[in-house]
Every structure is written in structure tokens, then in C-alpha cells.
Amino acid sequence: MEAVVEILKELDWSPLWISLKTGTAATVISFFLGIFAAGKVMHTTPGKKAVLDGILTLPMVIPPTAAGFFLLLLFSRRRPLGILLYEQFDIKVVQTWLGCIIAATVIAFPLMYRNARAAFEQIDVNLIYAARTLGMSETKIFWKVVLPSAGPGVASGTILTFARALGEYGATSMLAGNIPGKTGTISQKIAMVIQDGDYLTAGIWVAIVILIAFIVIFLMNLISGKHMKQVKRW
């Protein structure tokens, strides 16, 4: 026990903040992109839908390291896009916090997209038709009818996205690396200390992660629970 207190006293908390910041940023980005993509894919022709759906879901299905490989191909400073970003905008992705966000977003995005789409597709189409015949603009329909009706699905998509982004390891370690205080997330910290045989520190970080997970799930259930009261469900 004393050992735990000793470690906690001297613990470098930076992985926690880096993970939380990365998770939040990736969730916000995925939230909007996912909802946008879900709306678009839902309304395309079946052929296009199959292709788009495949591409958008792919990052969730392939190993994160494989996704990391593609990201490296894209953003490496020896590649066209990486060169362009660096030379024109002075933006570095590889081995930076931006890399963390991009990796986490790419891996977590499909969860948001798929949940949002499933939620949208379950909406009674008559609601949309009714809204149209009542003169509501498509934008208004989306914000006032579609999104609230899809609320619970979108909320659970957001939880899963945040959880996945928070725990991202494979793609992050490849694109952003594990630079303490900069790109060193909790997942990478755990992996690193375990390699050093420091099970105690690893255990502490695992406990922190579990705690965060519980808080997030609790909060989200609270939000979606409030929403659920308004909608009759079976």
C-alpha cells in the first residue's frame, strides 16, 4: 500500500491529460463527421452506399496497426501530403499530438458513423414526410426531428467513440509515437511500464482507465436516459 502511495506521489499525470484531450478532440470530430457521413450515405443509391459504407467502416475492422500503416503512408514527411502540410502550413503530424488525434479519430469514427446511421434509419419515415408537408426546411427537419428521434442511438455512438478513442493504441503508437508529455497516452504508458516489468504502475493506470470508463458510461446513460423518457419504447 505504501508503495502505491509512493508511486502516486511521484506519478507523472501527463498520460491522463493527453488521453483525455485526445479522446475528447477525436469524439467531437467524429461526432460531426459521423453524423454528416451517416446522413449522406443513407440517401445515396444502394450501389454507392455499399462502397462508401465499406470504406467508412474499414478502420474499425482492420487491425489498428494496419490503419496506422496507411496513416503513415499519408502523413509521412517523405510523402506528398506530409510534405505539402509541412512546407505550406508548417503542420507536422507524425510524432505529434495532432497525430494522436488523427489516429484516434480514424479508428473511432466508424463507431460514431455506424451508430448514427442505424439510429437514423430507424426513424419513422412518415415523420420526415409529415415535416416536409408542414413546410419545414430540410435543415430544420434534421435538427428538430431527425436528431432528437435518433438521440439515444447517437448518444450510445458517442460513448463508444469516446471509449475507443481514449484507449487507442495501435495506430497512435505508429503515427504519433510514445513521447512522454507529448504523445504518451495512457494505453502507451501501460504498455511501456509493463515492458519494464513495473506491474504496480501499470495497475494504477489500469485502475484510472476503469474509473474514467465508469464515469463516462454513467454520464452518457444519464443523458440518454433523460431522452428516453420522451420517446415510447418497447
Partner 1 sequence: MGIFIDVHKKLGNFTLNIRFASEAKRIGILGASGCGKSMTLKSIAGIISPDAGTIRIGEQIVFDSGKKINVKPQNRRAGYLFQNYALFPNMTVEQNIAAGLSGSREEKRKRVREMVGKFQLDGLERRLPGELSGGQQQRTALARIMAYKPEIILLDEPFSALDIYLKDNLQREMENMLKDYEGTVILVSHDRDEVYRFCEETVILDHGNVLVSDKTKELFQNPRLKEAAKLTGCKNFFKAKRVDAHTVELTEWGLFLHVRKDVPENCEWIGYRAHDFIPVWGERKKNSIPVCVENTAQLPFEVQYYLTVSGEKKTNDPETVRWFVQREKIAQLKEKGMPDHLQLSEECMMFLA
Residues that bind partner 1 (CB under 8 A): 124, 126-127, 129-137, 144-145, 148-149, 151, 227, 230-232
Contact 163, 175 (CB under 8 A): no
* Comparison of 106 and 116: residue with beta carbon closer to partner 1: 116
Nearest residue (CB) to partner 1, 148 versus 177? 148
Q: With respect to partner 1, which residue has the nearer C-beta, 8 or 127? A: 127
194/153 Cα distance (integer angstroms) = 37
CB of 155 to partner 1, least distance (A): 13
**Which residue reads 484531450 in cell numbers?**
21
Cα 200 versus chain centre, distance:
29
Q: Between 43 and 132, name the residue whose CB sits nearer to partner 1.
A: 132
Those residues whose C-beta lies under 8 Å from the C-beta of residue 37, and which sit 6 or more positions away, are: 52, 56, 113, 116, 117
Minimum CB separation of residue 119 from partner 1 in Å reads 13
Q: CB-based burial of residue 20 (10 Å sphere; 0-12 exposed, 13-18 middle, 19+ buried)?
A: middle
Smaller CB separation from partner 1, 55 or 231:
231
- SS3 for 175? helix
For partner 1, the closer of residues 143 and 218 by Cβ is: 143
Instruction: Please tell me the distance from the alpha carbon of residue 29 to that of residue 35, in angstroms, as a whole number.
Output: 10
Question: Shortest gap between Cβ of 31 and partner 1 (angstroms)?
Answer: 19
* C-alpha span between 9 and 7 (Å, rounded): 5
Smallest distance from partner 1 to CB 147, Å: 9
As measured in angstroms, the least distance from the Cβ of 50 to partner 1 is 20
d(CA 110, CA 31): 10
What counts of helices (H) and strands (E) characterise the chain?
Answer: 13, 0
Least separation in angstroms between CB 159 and partner 1: 20
